[in-house]
Amino acid sequence: MFFAQGKETDKYQDMVIEFNSSGKVGDLRITISHNQVQKILGPPRDTTGAPRQLILKFIENIHTAYYRKDKAYLNKVYSSNDVSRHEKEYFKKLKNVLSKDEYINFKFEDIDVAKHENNPNIYGVTLRQKWSTSTYNDEGWLFLIIDFTDENKPLIQGKKWLPYEKTPKKVFSLSDLIE
DSSP code per residue over the chain? -EE--SS-S--EE-EEEEE-TTSSEEEEEEPPPHHHHHHHHSS-SSS-HHHHHHHHHHHHHHHHHHHHT-HHHHHHHH--S---HHHHHHHHHHHHHHHH-S--EEEEEEEEEEE-SS-TTEEEEEEEEEEE-SS-EEEEEEEEEEE-SSTTS-EEEEEEEEEGGG--S----HHHH--
Q: What is the pLDDT of residue 47?
A: 47
Give mean pLDDT, residues 20-26: 92
Q: What is the pLDDT of residue 19?
A: 92
Tens of pLDDT along 32-74? 887 888 778 766 444 455 678 888 898 999 889 988 888 888 8
- pLDDT of residue 1 exceeding 60: no
- pLDDT of residue 2 exceeding 60: no
Q: What is the pTM of this model?
A: 0.77
Give mean pLDDT, residues 127-151: 87
Where does the pLDDT of residue 176 fall: very low under 50, low under 70, confident under 90, or very high at 90 and above? low
Q: What is the pLDDT of residue 28?
A: 86
Tens of pLDDT along 95-123? 888 888 888 888 888 888 888 888 888 88
Q: What is the pLDDT of residue 83?
A: 66
Tens of pLDDT along 72-95? 888 777 766 666 777 777 777 778
Instruction: For the chain, list the domains and their CATH numbers.
Output: 2-177 (3.10.450.50)
Q: What is the pLDDT of residue 115?
A: 86
